[in-house]
Structure 1
């Protein structure tokens, strides 16, 4: 590597299309407290924090492959001692010796608190100088000059932070829209009707659902709740969505779907158990020809089945949450139904403020109401409890009417 580039005031590295580090300069090695032999040939994931790995896979890699360019993307690297260091990364795809490379420049982001502390110290120096003007007049001039410099630096930092805040908010809004586009549209035909409700407690949600018509008589319905809220949980839900959408649409058996989702979570956090997330989930396969429902509940709140006579049955958990224990064998349970029955699936964000008894009573007391009206009544109940309930959580539920 060129000597000037090797000791440049910013980090520099090149990687292959697969993300393997091919070269790295001394500036970045020093910041991360690594030796060059420890990183050359390793995957870029090795020096990324856990949230940054997901962001890297979902945004950085697709942008580089699609556009060949990334500008001022916020990313967090992890030093050898575990310290997380924020950087702005600029990258471009190049071709050298018939080989495609990703060239990356990484600029450390200064800590605002350091500038604020220095500003307070400068102000204190200035105040002390004013009390003894005759004696320390020269010191006062120096302090005032220092104050101006720090103020200018702080203004620049504020401007950068504001720009970053706006960009982050725009990115989060885009991510929210992308997440909402993944949600299934209502279904209504001669066999069944499905309505759903979804509300994130922040911009992004850890809840996700999907329902799909597999063939003329089979429908797959899934509802998941990833531990936590916000960006990290939302990234995991979107990762899980792409997997279950593909599996359910192909008509894969319920136990295999759950096993694949469980394996995906274990693989996602294989190198960092401290960042491990688990996920509760419930999957139902409805066969309208056989009038049969097959289900697996992985640590999720029990779904409610109400038959045409108003008799209710809870579909309790049949296995622990996804991502908790390895080697779990997921077994299905099956029951038959008659026309006119209804299903209610929901997450903790609905059950905790309302209570399952309230949900069950609401369904029992409105046997002839259409799904849209029942949906609106549940939403009204949630809004009523919103001001007095102390916990803020993602809210999601699904209503199914079997005709």
Structure 2
């Protein structure tokens, strides 16, 4: 099952900072007076062009007003220095000149200047250009910081997902081959980790429980809920519960894992109990895809009954179904991630197609499951699937 949880990133606030680099003190004073009445603008003046670069790095302006004609170092050279600096390469630069020359403007723009005005400009014009260029630069800073924050969040989330995925895998059972039962399974977590878990164990010497559940959504929350449900099934928390009766188990799970108590999360489950002596399975599918029971002649039964999801309706009357298990039969239990694959034309690969593939390729090991995994990767054109790939195979002698 899939879900999306967008990340919200609050951008950092920046104040407009203007650095004027001009060797004439009178120009510096005139600009200061123009901007002094605006509280949202912080003004700095550098009269020594040799100190312009270190001053700009220290101040971190949102705009540089750069005089063109100065002793020792001209404005064109400084523009090139700014653009060569990692810290200043994106800061907007407005070149100030006493002349309106097309050739000079072309040289400035080629060097990396953003704007060019004849000094001293009108106060309204200067203020408009300062705000325009500063706003664009601040937007750039906020966008870059948002990308960095998102990258950090994604790395942290990936680390948490990896830990949760490792924990889920550690909960999965060992394969067995004794007492007339052989088991095989494959669990391939999706990129965001879904909510799949599964297991099996002997309830007593005659009854073998088989179960697979799928929590809605992706991420650490669904994964942890699936682990909680698995612990619930395997621990002594329900020591008084009759685990031999799938309907009773479903009712207990539904009571313990209501959506309202678990952040709106619910899950589907297929739970069955194999009776070794009379070769039957009592099972329940609570909103879950049907298990596939295939006999040695290739006849396939889909084991599914009409029950609601776990956590949806507090008083839902879950009911189980009994089915015979012929000799040398194979049972496949899986999540929807093994067949709900979007094809290149936008259609979805259907359950019946997956079931036919399994029936046609079944064998004495898990090759057909590996073949299915490769097939859905090709069908979806993805090496890492959008949902967990989980499939159990139980062979009955």
- State the TM-score, normalized to the length of structure 2: 0.61
Matched, 1:380 2:371: no
CA distance in 2, matches of 1:308, 1:248: 39
TM superposition shift of 1:388: 6.6
Q: Measured at CA, do residues 207 and 136 of structure 1 come closer, stay the same or move farther in structure 2, by a change above 3 Å?
A: same
Q: Measured at CA, do residues 355 and 390 of structure 1 come closer, stay the same or move farther in structure 2, by a change above 3 Å?
A: farther
- TM alignment of 1:284-303, pairs within 5 A: 284-303=272-291
Equivalent in 44, 60, 74 of residue 141 of structure 1: 44
TM superposition shift of 1:164: 7.5
Contact 2:280 2:324 in 1 (8 A): yes
Equivalent in 152, 159, 167 of residue 178 of structure 1: 167
Q: Measured at CA, do residues 356 and 160 of structure 1 come closer, stay the same or move farther in structure 2, by a change above 3 Å?
A: closer
Equivalent in 355, 358, 362 of residue 353 of structure 2: 358
TM superposition shift of 1:146: 6.3
Equivalent in 223, 248, 251 of residue 234 of structure 1: 223
Q: Measured at CA, do residues 166 and 225 of structure 1 come closer, stay the same or move farther in structure 2, by a change above 3 Å?
A: closer
TM superposition shift of 1:187: 1.8
Q: Measured at CA, do residues 318 and 389 of structure 1 come closer, stay the same or move farther in structure 2, by a change above 3 Å?
A: farther
Matched, 1:219 2:211: no
Q: Any unmatched runs of 5+ in structure 1? A: 1-85, 87-110
Equivalent residue for 2:390?
A: 396
- TM alignment of 1:240-259, pairs within 5 A: 240-246=229-235, 252=243, 253-259=245-251
Instruction: Provide, for residues 98-120 of structure 1, a one-character-per-residue CA deviation record: whole Å limited to 9, x for no partner.
Output: xxxxxxxxxxxxx97442x31xx
TM superposition shift of 1:323: 1.0
CA distance in 2, matches of 1:156, 1:383: 35
Q: CA RMSD in A?
A: 3.8
Equivalent residue for 1:370?
A: 364
Equivalent residue for 1:262?
A: 254
TM superposition shift of 1:339: 0.9
Q: Measured at CA, do residues 162 and 303 of structure 1 come closer, stay the same or move farther in structure 2, by a change above 3 Å?
A: closer
Task: Pick 1 or 2: higher relative contact order, CA cutoff 8 A, min separation 6.
Answer: 2
Q: Measured at CA, do residues 203 and 141 of structure 1 come closer, stay the same or move farther in structure 2, by a change above 3 Å?
A: same
Matched, 1:342 2:330: yes
TM superposition shift of 1:295: 0.2
Aligned length: 281
Q: Measured at CA, do residues 381 and 169 of structure 1 come closer, stay the same or move farther in structure 2, by a change above 3 Å?
A: closer
CA distance in 2, matches of 1:390, 1:202: 6
Equivalent residue for 2:298?
A: 310
CA distance in 1, matches of 2:290, 2:231: 25
Instruction: Provide, for residues 297-328 of structure 1, a one-character-per-residue CA deviation record: whole Å limited to 9, x for no partner.
Output: 10111111112222111112330111111101
Q: Measured at CA, do residues 157 and 332 of structure 1 come closer, stay the same or move farther in structure 2, by a change above 3 Å?
A: closer
SS of residue in 1 equivalent to 2:339: helix
Of structures 1 and 2, the larger Rg is shown by: 2
TM superposition shift of 1:360: 2.2
Q: Measured at CA, do residues 387 and 339 of structure 1 come closer, stay the same or move farther in structure 2, by a change above 3 Å?
A: same
Q: Any unmatched runs of 5+ in structure 2? A: 1-6, 37-41, 46-54, 63-86, 88-141, 342-348
User: Which structure: greater helix fraction?
Assistant: 1
- State the TM-score, normalized to the length of structure 1: 0.60
Q: Measured at CA, do residues 181 and 387 of structure 1 come closer, stay the same or move farther in structure 2, by a change above 3 Å?
A: same
Q: Measured at CA, do residues 184 and 389 of structure 1 come closer, stay the same or move farther in structure 2, by a change above 3 Å?
A: closer
CA distance in 1, matches of 2:260, 2:167: 24
Q: Measured at CA, do residues 302 and 196 of structure 1 come closer, stay the same or move farther in structure 2, by a change above 3 Å?
A: same
TM superposition shift of 1:247: 6.2
